[in-house]
Amino acid sequence: MSMHSSSTDSRVGALPQPYLLFLGDTTEPGYAKTAFGLRDWAADRCVGEWSCGATVSTGLTTLTPVEARARGARGLVIGVANAGGVIPDGWIGALVEAMEAGLDIVSGMHMRLADIPQLAAAATRLRRSLIDIRTPPHDIPVASGRKRSGKRLLTVGTDCALGKKYTALALARAFAARGVAVDFRASGQTGILIAGGGIPLDAVVADFEAGAAELLSPAAAPLHWDVIEGQGSLFHPAYAGVSLGLLHGSQPDAFVVCHEPGRTHVLGHPDFALPDIEEVIDLTLRLGRRTNPAIRCVGVSLNTARLDADAAQQLFSRESRRLGLPVADPMRGGEAFDRLVAAALEEPARG
Amino acid sequence: MSMHSSSTDSRVGALPQPYLLFLGDTTEPGYAKTAFGLRDWAADRCVGEWSCGATVSTGLTTLTPVEARARGARGLVIGVANAGGVIPDGWIGALVEAMEAGLDIVSGMHMRLADIPQLAAAATRLRRSLIDIRTPPHDIPVASGRKRSGKRLLTVGTDCALGKKYTALALARAFAARGVAVDFRASGQTGILIAGGGIPLDAVVADFEAGAAELLSPAAAPLHWDVIEGQGSLFHPAYAGVSLGLLHGSQPDAFVVCHEPGRTHVLGHPDFALPDIEEVIDLTLRLGRRTNPAIRCVGVSLNTARLDADAAQQLFSRESRRLGLPVADPMRGGEAFDRLVAAALEEPARG
């Protein structure tokens, strides 16, 4: 499996690795998904974690920037993504301390590091780099809507931050293990840090959103699969437009719905009930058919990190019967996930 | 009626008026909607038109920049918006000539004037201003999804460039004529030039799209109406994400579907059939209910510029019976439009 995207900024390949993961003052685990993602999918490139008052932890060794530098770290990665992608004033002292210890700063936030005067001044003084990976390419075209060769799978969700990236990474890994030509296509900052390429789709100007999705998964060999990391949710009161542009531009042949059992409301929006899985399937089919009439749902991915193994297996069986689809947790693997992978790779029934 | 938006860049109020309308080398009338919009809604601020090989005309007097300056023009407005918002190399000589004649340049294109070296150099040399009105404010929040006081109407469409802005302007004018407190809220470059304020929603970073729509129509008095200019179409292969973010953030109580009879395919995308009006109503209701469960369709606006008066009236009657809704062309006014305005202002039936 190649984790690289041929269409993206080659600069990302030169990120200062290995990383020290910075957790800021984060108390909400849902916002630390960049740090968790790097721990889970790029552990060999993470030396430890550091924070300025966070209650969230990746479980990696806590190291000061000086200690991390001594163990080989070259970059401090901001491992959290709060709503809006803002770098709070309270983090700036810590980021300067990291630069003083010899680390470059890597950020996937919307706010650009170089736009914060204290950071810009410290970087100049200390000759360190401020690297914003949430910067899309400059030459994104308006979407054409034209069908591209190759096969595509998109992960979609009932909400943000519940497994779309992990599901895509696990599916790409499983496809490769079965000898299928596949690329993981990263659409968000954590995926880009893991894959070494991609396009930060939530940072693209709205008119070019579907065009960016077309660029992210270019025409490929007929049997090649792109497994595309989804963003947001069609039911999210702030981010649904991002999800729709990504859906239209990806033109997926197949999609997997990602959900966290027990989550009842949109993260950070307690007035918004989460949609049912069936609603997400139905709306994704309806909207996705606009650019790929053959779109189909091939399964459901449940994030069962909070359940024990027996409860998870029972849930997969029950939901699979109810929905008539494979249901699995990619992080647990097993027969349930094998069935989901097989359904994704199966040629759809005709007519 | 106030055409001003209190939430937008005050700089727009200082645009160099009156205008000379520049049509570039445009041959597709659908792309000249900025020039047509200014002619139709701000004629008192337009001295004439000019081009470098366009076959499209507004019908205003053709004037060179020198002649326009002599008649009082202070700005040349780029009156066309091609796909992608790019300023072709072939226009640059003409834009420099306009500056040499003493005109500032006003653009609503995505490409920024100051990013074109020849224009930047000429502006510096000639002490002229390059004004990009497609620049959104810097402080747009992520959408909250919270209900705001006041009433809102959004114009939606079966496609781009078929009457969403004209319909919103005509409705706002008609509301005001009936003594209703109302603001027209501009979401695109032409609307902003007409209204003197607004937010260019297609130029906002995708994550903030719905947030920008919330900012565009802030909380207001309970009986006040915002009539919001729609963008794109939920069925557009490139711009649907823009339309969904605007729908979610606008939280409209009422919407009007805009359509051009006889248009069968998406402008610039001949492989994409236009949706039926009923499909647009159904999908707008389904998606709009996410942020306003009380959303309702109050009528259909048909752009009948290519029909004669009898054919238009027959079409309104036939479509109104078929759809069970008021159907009118706001530019023709008359009883059909009065019924549409009345339906929009009517209190919705309970339960």
Q: Where are the domains of chain B?
A: 17-128, 151-345
List the structure tokens of A156.
Answer: 């979609």
Nearest residue of A to residue B287, measured between CA atoms: A235
Reported as a single tens digit per residue, the pLDDT across A10-60 is: 334 468 989 999 999 999 888 898 999 999 999 999 999 999 999 999 999
A142 at interface of B, judged by CB pairs closer than 8 A:
yes
Closest in B206, B287, B291 to A206, CB measured: B206
Which residues of chain A does B143 touch, with a Cβ-Cβ cutoff of 8 Å? 237-238
A141 at interface of B, judged by CB pairs closer than 8 A:
yes
Is 50 exceeded by the pLDDT of residue A65?
yes
Average confidence (pLDDT) over A86-103: 95
In angstroms, the CA B308 to CA B293 distance is 39
In angstroms, the CA A323 to CA A340 distance is 13
Residue A109 has a pLDDT of 85
Pair A246, A213: CB distance under 8 Å: yes
Reported as a single tens digit per residue, the pLDDT across A265-292 is: 999 999 999 999 999 999 999 999 999 9
Domains A17-128 and A151-345 share a fold: yes
Report the amino acid identity of residue A244. L
List the structure tokens of A194.
Answer: 């893991």
> Is the CB of A272 less than 8 angstroms away from the CB of B145?
yes
Is 80 exceeded by the pLDDT of residue A4?
no
Report the amino acid identity of residue B150. G
Report the amino acid identity of residue A64. T
Reported as a single tens digit per residue, the pLDDT across A203-224 is: 999 999 999 999 999 999 999 9
**Whole-number average pLDDT of chain A:** 92
CATH architecture classification, B17-128: 3-Layer(aba) Sandwich (3.40)
Average confidence (pLDDT) over A169-173: 97
Residue A9 has a pLDDT of 37
Nearest residue of B to residue A206, measured between CA atoms: B206
**B274 vs chain A: nearest CA distance in angstroms?**
11
In angstroms, the CA A304 to CA A259 distance is 9
In angstroms, the CA B333 to CA B340 distance is 10
Q: Residue ranges of chain B with pLDDT lower than 50?
A: 1-13, 351
B222 at interface of A, judged by CB pairs closer than 8 A:
no
User: What ipTM was estimated for this complex?
Assistant: 0.87
Nearest residue of B to residue A246, measured between CA atoms: B241
Is 70 exceeded by the pLDDT of residue A329?
yes
> Is the CB of B141 less than 8 angstroms away from the CB of A210?
no
**Helical (H) or strand (E) element with B340:** helix B334-345
Question: DSSP letters of B253-278?
Answer: SEEEEEE-TT--EETTEEEEEPPPHH
Closest in B240, B269, B286 to A245, CB measured: B240
CB pairs under 8 A between A and B: 128
More reliable by pLDDT, B312 or A6: B312
Closest in B142, B205, B246 to A83, CB measured: B142
Q: Apex CA B236: angle with CA B234 and CA B242, to 5°?
A: 60
Nearest residue of B to residue A250, measured between CA atoms: B237
Residue A225 has a pLDDT of 98
Whether domain A151-345 has CATH 3.40.50.300: the reply is yes
Mutate to test the interface with B, among A205, A215, A282 (most CBs of B within 10 A): A205
A155 at interface of B, judged by CB pairs closer than 8 A:
no
> Is the CB of B241 less than 8 angstroms away from the CB of A291?
no
- Within 13 Å, how many C-alpha atoms sit on residue B300's CB side? 26
Band (pLDDT 50/70/90 cuts) for residue A350 is low
List the structure tokens of A213.
Answer: 């999705």
The answer for residues whose C-beta is within 8 angstroms of residue B25's C-beta and 6 or more apart is B51, B52, B53, B54, B88, B90, B91
State the sign of the Cα–Cα–Cα–Cα dihedral A234, A236, A241, A247.
negative
Which residues of chain B does A248 touch, with a Cβ-Cβ cutoff of 8 Å? 237-238, 240-241
In angstroms, the CA A185 to CA B238 distance is 20
Residue B30 has a pLDDT of 80
More reliable by pLDDT, A202 or B227: B227
B173 at interface of A, judged by CB pairs closer than 8 A:
no
> Is the CB of A85 less than 8 angstroms away from the CB of B207?
yes
A148 at interface of B, judged by CB pairs closer than 8 A:
no
Residue A14 has a pLDDT of 67
